[in-house]
Structure 1
Amino acid sequence: MNLLEQIGIGLPIIQAPMAGTSTPAMAAAVTDAGGLGSIAFGAVDAKGAEEMVRDLKARTDGPFNVNLFVHAAPSHDPGREQAWIEALTPLFHEYGAQPPTQLRAIYRSFVEPDDAMMAVLLEARPRVVSFHFGLPPAEKIAALKQAGFLLFSTATSLAEAGAARKAGIDALVGQGWEAGGHRGIFDPAGPDERLDTLSLTRLLAKEAGLPVIAAGGIMDGAGIAAALDAGAVAAQLGTAFVGCPESNADEGYRMALASDAAHHTVMVDAISGRPARCLGNRFTAWAEDNAALPRPGYPMVYDAGKALNAAAKAVGEYGFGAQWAGQGAPRSRPMPAAELVTLLARELEAARY
């Protein structure tokens, strides 16, 4: 039985669980159209996760993927954090707001003990549980496998793929350098090979010993076909779904995606504290001007960034949002998620046959 049959889907199309834009409505629409819909738990606590699952299951009884952040436990550096707040203070004042007095670790990592989140997962019964930024402890992997879930992990290199296979992961999401959103590299302070999606897919398909799902820059059926020809069993698309009406993207995000900014995505770490690809905006320009300023750890930087974005949005400025997008952004086609999946399937068939 191949991976798609194990999941229970008919199309090699997976909607990426982009925290901030993916929603239960989107996931349900993708699943019911024949792909695999996904929801993101990385930015919510157990209560929020439970509410998302309840919403999703009210919309579909099909398979779905739940994604978790598995970053290293945050380490506070008060001096660096205070310097960061001070550097951002003029921007807060520009929008009539005060910066936070200290930075918080606003997202909890799945490496930390979290019985409540594990209970939600076991009750939710997702077909797939996926990990981003790293791998959880062996006991959590064992518990999830014992429950019968398929486990996916992002891999940006062959070394990360080897660690995932050794840990018992069932499939790899090969994230190319083109991909929008957070770079899934396990150690953001270490070297990054920056492999493009197709090169990484070919490498992993040949040497990793696990099924590969290609991710990064894929926006249409021809892109999916290229990924399958490179050895992938499926393709994961994130930016392609940001413009869908079911997406949680705000007005400014949608306008930026439809503008010239789509042609100028950048990889920055000033929004959250980890490298992430997004549309060029006022925040990314500020980040470039302050490239030498040491970043506090993830997700403390995100705490400041979210507060600044909220202050700016309150007076109609959308240029400080986390407008995640991959290098395929200029080819975005806003339409309902189910229609997009159907179109992708038609394009895939045309490209392959």
Structure 2
Amino acid sequence: MTFLDQLNVTHPIIQAPMAGVSTPALAAAVSDAGGLGSIGVGATDAAGARAMIDTIRALTDRAFNVNVFVHATPTPDAAREAAWLHAMRPLFNAYEAEPPTGLRIIYRSFADDDAMFEMLVETAPPVVSFHFGLPDAARIKALKDAGCALIATATNLREAKAIAAAGLDAIIAQGIEAGGHRGMFDPDAADDMLGTFALTRLLVKNTSLPVIAAGGIMDGAGIRAVLDLGAVAAQLGTAFIACPESSADEAYRAALAGEAAQHTLLTKAISGRPARALANRFTAWASQTKAAVPDYPIAYDAGKALNAAAKAAGEHGFGAQWAGQGAPLSRAMPAADLVALLHRECS
């Protein structure tokens, strides 16, 4: 029985978690349509995550995925954070706002969040996925004992082998084309920036786990291509942003449908970790600043404050508008219709 068969997923289509954009309604619609819907809970606490899981279960009886962030515990650096806020001050002042007086660790790593861990063991979602790394062996065993299938993101073969050694059930091969945060375990290590095709084939040939390809896949032709490379499924994120069930705001949707979609780029400035976004005013500023970016997610506290100040003044160019290189291929339609179309295109 294949990995997808075990989950009763009939189409080789996984909707990426996209914390802050994916919703229970989006995940449920994808799962009901035969794919695997996902939510990202890295930007909420255990109570918020439980509420999302309860909502999905009220909407569908199909399998779904819950994604958590397993980043290293950040190291506060008062001097670096003060210098970062000083560099950002002109941006705040342009919108008649003051930067924060200090920066906080706004998101806890799953590795440090006992409440999130205990809630996931109790609620036992069908799939739990890890981004930025792996939790310890005890947490992996407890989730597996609860009946959860476990998957994790790899950006290179070394990370994939660590995932296999940890006893997980599948690997997400995240190519450099992917939107949102790079799943690399160590953001300070050299990044080989492997593309989706090369990485997928590398992991298929050199690991025994099912491989899910992610990065730049927007239509059935892309899904078929990675299946031909040996992947068991494709994970698509940017393709689902324009669906009405996502929580993307109107400015994000307009940017995705406009010229900015032609110019995605990787930046650490928004959150403190490399992530691919639509070109906007924040990424333009980030490409010029010389200030050192604080650790993830400390830098995100500043970015969110700046975006809030700018939006209050009617400027929407400072948001975290994550998107992959396939962004110009985006199609706006209900999630169930998109899954059905993708399935027809790749058949």
- TM-score for both structures, normalised by structure 2: 0.99
In the alignment, what sits opposite 2:238?
A: 239
Instruction: Report the Cα offset of residue 259 of structure 1.
Output: 0.5
Look up the equivalent residue of 2:339 and give its one-letter code. V
CA deviations over 1:171-196 (Å, ceiling 9, x no partner) = 00000000000000111100111110
In the alignment, what sits opposite 2:19?
A: 19
In the alignment, what sits opposite 1:335?
A: 333
* Unpaired stretches in structure 2, ≥5 consecutive residues: none
Query: C-alpha separation between the residues in 1 aligned to 2:114 and 2:157?
Result: 32
What SS does structure 1 have at the residue aligned with 2:111?
coil
CA deviations over 1:191-218 (Å, ceiling 9, x no partner) = 1111100110000001022100000000
Instruction: Report the Cα offset of residue 69 of structure 1.
Output: 0.1
CA deviations over 1:277-329 (Å, ceiling 9, x no partner) = 00000000000011x31111110000000010011111211100000000000
In the alignment, what sits opposite 1:85?
A: 85
What SS does structure 2 have at the residue aligned with 1:79?
helix
1:299 lines up with 2:293 in the alignment? no
Where do 1:245-284 residues align within 5 Å? 245-284=244-283
What SS does structure 2 have at the residue aligned with 1:91?
helix
Q: Which moved more, 1:325-334 or 1:89-98?
A: 89-98
Instruction: Report the Cα offset of residue 20 of structure 1.
Output: 1.3
In the alignment, what sits opposite 1:156?
A: 155
Query: C-alpha separation between the residues in 2 aligned to 1:19 and 1:289?
Result: 28
Instruction: Report the Cα offset of residue 115 of structure 1.
Output: 2.8
What SS does structure 2 have at the residue aligned with 1:111?
helix
Q: Verify the 8 A CA contact 2:121 2:142 in the aligned structure 1.
A: no
Output the aligned Cα RMSD.
Answer: 0.7
Where do 1:117-128 residues align within 5 Å? 117-128=116-127
Query: C-alpha separation between the residues in 1 aligned to 2:167 and 2:64?
Result: 20
What SS does structure 1 have at the residue aligned with 2:287?
helix
Q: Verify the 8 A CA contact 2:110 2:117 in the aligned structure 1.
A: no
CA deviations over 1:136-192 (Å, ceiling 9, x no partner) = 011100111111111000000000001111111110000000000000011110011
Instruction: Report the Cα offset of residue 268 of structure 1.
Output: 0.3
User: Which stretches of structure 1, 4 residues or longer, exceed 2 Å deviation after superposition?
Assistant: 122-125
Query: C-alpha separation between the residues in 1 aligned to 2:191 and 2:96?
Result: 39
What SS does structure 1 have at the residue aligned with 2:163?
helix
Look up the equivalent residue of 1:35 and give its one-letter code. G
Query: C-alpha separation between the residues in 2 aligned to 1:260 and 1:33?
Result: 31
Query: C-alpha separation between the residues in 2 aligned to 1:125 and 1:133?
Result: 21
Task: State the percentage of identical aligned residues.
Answer: 65
Look up the equivalent residue of 1:127 and give its one-letter code. P
Q: Which moved more, 1:334-343 or 1:49-58?
A: 49-58
In the alignment, what sits opposite 2:107?
A: 107
What SS does structure 2 have at the residue aligned with 1:141?
helix
